Amino acid sequence: MTSPSSPTSDSAAVDDRCARCLLRACLCAGVPVVAARTRVVIVRHPAERHRSSNSGRLAHLALTNSVLVEYRAPMPELDGAWLLYPEGPPCLAAPEPPPRQLVVLDGTWSQARRMFRKLAPLRGLPILRLPEGARAPRMREAPSPDRVSTIEAIARALRVLEGDGVATPLEELFALAVARAAASGRTIAAGPAAPVT
């Protein structure tokens, strides 16, 4: 039975990352359980799927009331949904009635813009634009000041909608991920210096 020289599952062996959080220094044990009222629908660009710096995955792991949808896969029912998108006036307080769902486009800014243009179910959804907020170190450079990482964007939107109780654990998780990435030698780009419009 034993064949010491035979490789054991080559495809898995080339990658020593955790299959769940995709980080070498697994942080699954540090993922909080965040029960938000607002259902968060994360629409993920295919390029994000295997990137360890993808923070939408982390948000989904933490948020019990969330769903991760691949771009071009069938969208769930979007009743009562708002789209988190950097367009229009910033949302300083929860709209009335509050969104039942929040759609978040997970990708770079140009990927998100493309998804927004191409996904017909998103057309006509009311848009929630983030207010200005403090910027934290990030796992990857954001292309513009109000375009923060996906998990930060979700945290800030949920802070507006539901308060700190749901936002802070997500921000702490992101900080943990940034620290782990830094510890494993990954470059952490500083946040943009320009003020938020």
Q: Between 15 and 87, whose beta carbon lies closer to Zn ion?
A: 15
The CB-nearest residue to Zn ion is 18
Q: Between 28 and 190, whose beta carbon lies closer to Zn ion?
A: 28
28 part of the interface to Zn ion, by CB under 5 A: yes
Applying CB under 5 A, which part among 15-23, 146-154, 162-170, 182-190 lies near Zn ion?
A: 15-23
175 part of the interface to Zn ion, by CB under 5 A: no
Contact 27, 176 (CB under 8 A): yes
Contact 126, 96 (CB under 8 A): no
User: Which DSSP string corresponds to 23-92?
Assistant: -SS--GGG---B--SSEEEEEE-GGGTT-TT-HHHHHHHHBSSEEEEETTSPPPP-TTEEEE-S-SSB--
26 part of the interface to Zn ion, by CB under 5 A: yes
25 part of the interface to Zn ion, by CB under 5 A: no
What's the length of the chain? 197
Least distance from C-beta 184 to Zn ion, angstroms? 13
- Residues near Zn ion (CB under 5 A) are 18, 20-21, 26, 28
